[in-house]
């Protein structure tokens, strides 16, 4: 069995794929292309090509919150998701998809209700849950899969 020598981490700023040595703390890494931190402690907004890069090129699990501005439970979930990003990174990247602005992404994931959180790793869906939840519930739900 070969040990993992590096992880691929996609930059939240420029979407460049970075190789981070496995023995280095990922949360201290900076992008080799744009120089920005690889982790910010905040969810990133996903769209089109950027979403594809994070879904297909990253070794970090991706938790996506599918939401819409008109959705009351989505607005309730937003600050919870923000706090979760600060606690789950760098083990998990958190991202948000506005289903009104990115209907193709919502369709790709067969989103039928919002808010829906989908946990993806290396392009494969691991788990999903729908509805708003408290921070403790969200953290517990994610940690059982990663």
Q: Which residues are catalytic?
A: 71, 74
The 3-state DSSP class for residue 75 equals helix
* Residues 86 and 27 sit within 8 Å (Cβ to Cβ): no
Distances in whole angstroms, Cα of residue 67 to Cα of each of 14, 75, 109, 132 = 23, 8, 13, 11
Q: Give the burial string for 72-102 (b: 16+ CB within 10 Å, else e).
A: eebeebbebbbebbeebbbebbbbbbbbeeb
Q: Which of 144, 143, 114 is nearest to 129 (CA)?
A: 114
């Amino acid at each position: 069995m070969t040990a993992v020598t590096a992880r691929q981490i996609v930059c939240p700023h420029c979407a460049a794929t970075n190789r981070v040595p496995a023995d280095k703390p990922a949360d201290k890494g900076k992008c080799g292309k744009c120089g920005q931190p690889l982790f910010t402690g905040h969810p990133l907004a996903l769209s089109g090509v950027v979403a594809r890069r994070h879904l297909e090129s990253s070794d970090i699990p991706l938790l996506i919150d599918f939401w819409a501005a008109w959705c009351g439970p989505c607005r309730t979930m937003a600050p919870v998701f923000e706090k979760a990003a600060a606690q789950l990174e760098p083990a998990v990247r958190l991202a948000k998809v506005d289903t009104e602005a990115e209907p193709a992404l919502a369709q790709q994931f067969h989103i039928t209700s919002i808010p829906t959180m989908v946990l993806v790793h290396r392009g494969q869906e691991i788990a999903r849950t729908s509805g708003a939840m408290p921070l403790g519930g969200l953290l517990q739900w994610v940690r059982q899969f990663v």
